[in-house]
Structure 1
Amino acid sequence: MREALKYMYMGMYSIIILLGLPLNTLVIYTIFCKMKRTGRVIWFLGLAVTDLTVCLFLPFQIVSALDDFNWRFGRGLCKFCSFVMFVNMHSTALMLSFMSTDRCLSALVSRACCKSFVSKSMVLLSWTIGTLLSIPSFLFRSVKDTDNGQSCIDDYKTTAEGERTLHLVTFTRLFFGLLLPLFVITIGSCFVSMKRSSIQIKASKSYRIIRAIIIAYFLCWIPYHTFMVMALVVQSPRELFTVGLPISTILAGLNSCVNPIICILMGRSISMTWMEAAPETTGEQDQSAENLTEIKTHHEQKDL
């Protein structure tokens, strides 16, 4: 079983790196060099930077798995690799929540100013809060001597206080990484659906891509939170967690390469020009743009 997990870690993390590093770099390069940094573009830039950071630290996990899960990079990198992973989780959850709220406000109220500034502020706020919420990785992640050598694992101590701390950290991550964004995004989607122009909004390419990114985030992270909570509150066979938790951890890491794939495939363009072209306000503006295009086409045909 350990050999199977070892090769699974190496194979899946290698795929994540091979896809995540170039594709997230492509998104960042395209935005910086070829696009005007509008509000919506900044959201995608924030997500790409967050995902790229995770990909940069995955090689340490591959080398550790190759060495039969021995950790030879010291306590500092052990803490930082875990820290980066949870900063990614919290920051992405917050960015998607803020993005959903921004889209909801844009659908309900016409806003023509300060969008870029607001988006930049929200991305920076997401990174800041994500960093603060990930501090437990620095406090409780450590290198411990085990039967298989030195392992980079969580160390909450086998005391009553350690158990309480483990419960607090687990449920805090569950709340901010899953429940809160799910609630905010659901409420935002309901408000957008209530808007008279929701059909035009939902038909836009940007809306469909954002929705796919949100679904991908929850699909990647729900298994991890499920296994972590089950480990605390359910008496399940140890084998279930021995296999399930590593798989759910890999699935969570997979989220770091999924977003650019969604942007390129659903956008049907490697240049991702839809980010810049997509309207950032109400669905009525979508319809107005379409009407102007039809009028222009009609006049051109008439001239011919």
Structure 2
Amino acid sequence: LIRCIEAIVHVCGSAMGPCIVQVVTPLPAIWEAAGSVDANLLRGKILSLLTRIMEIDWHDVVDVYTQPLHDVFGNVVLALSRDTEHVQSGLTLLENYAIIGAAAFWSAYAMDVSRLLHSIVGQVKPEISHMVTSVTRVLSALWSVAQEQPRQEKELVVVSFVSTLAAASLRAPSVFLAAVPSAHTPSFLDTMLHLFFSISFSAVGPARRRMWAASLCSFLSVSPAVLDRMGLLLEAIVQVLGDDTSPLDVHDADDADDVSVRRRSLLLVRKTKLVPPTLSYIKQYLCAQLNKCSQMYGPEAFNQSMALVEASIVDTIQAL
């Protein structure tokens, strides 16, 4: 039956939009009800169906990311953490969820995904481990280039590298810390802030600026290095929050990706980047992170750092 539904989804494509809730809603219950003998086979079919659903170009379909579709990923994480048989299809599905679910997906599952990636390294076939560990190696290489002195790459190239690291710091913190150790956090913040206020960063679009602002927010509850940089950090975030008139292009100024992987994935179908955080999300996240920062480092240290912030910036934040 599940294979028949998958075939129908494949043929109908985005025309399945009005019916997709009915297709997805029973999947968590079916997943949990699978007997031990048939569990792997049935769950593999469910993963295949979900992957087929997520491969469709839903660009013109409103509200395709329904609550049942969101909830069923929890089953996927649990299954992959227990059994590595379906890791490859699970990783493909993860990419597609990241595109369609955007902030809603990452806010719920970022830590689960981060822990999952670390847990499966060394527990799966070499080619799958390579898929996971290569992420950390690439991030480490990007950070090495960003720190080069004298700099060999153009600033816009470094901006692109740091943008990737910023996205990782926000969406997969433990993966980011594996590439950029906590001892390097002050240097990373200095690099971000320098590039943010340089001429080169004005050349990129609002999507990337929003990602940077959200990443800067994330460090408020991670490192005491933010206390000495609170003025510039909050100035950068407020600057992004005030940039609500620019058209949002998720491609920004990125160069087109040279895609060598031939597997079907929504990342390739839509040829797009992860949808950046919304301004309303950044506002809420900033307020929550400032409260955490005050609790972590104490009111006295926090107030001293806020004294470094321009009054107009403080007024803007208090009005959020």
For the superposition of Structure 1 and Structure 2, which TM-score range results when normalised by the shorter chain? Answer: under 0.3
Q: From the two aligned structures, give the one with the greater helix fraction.
A: 1
Higher relative contact order (CA 8 A, sep 6+): 1
TM-score when normalising by structure 2: 0.23
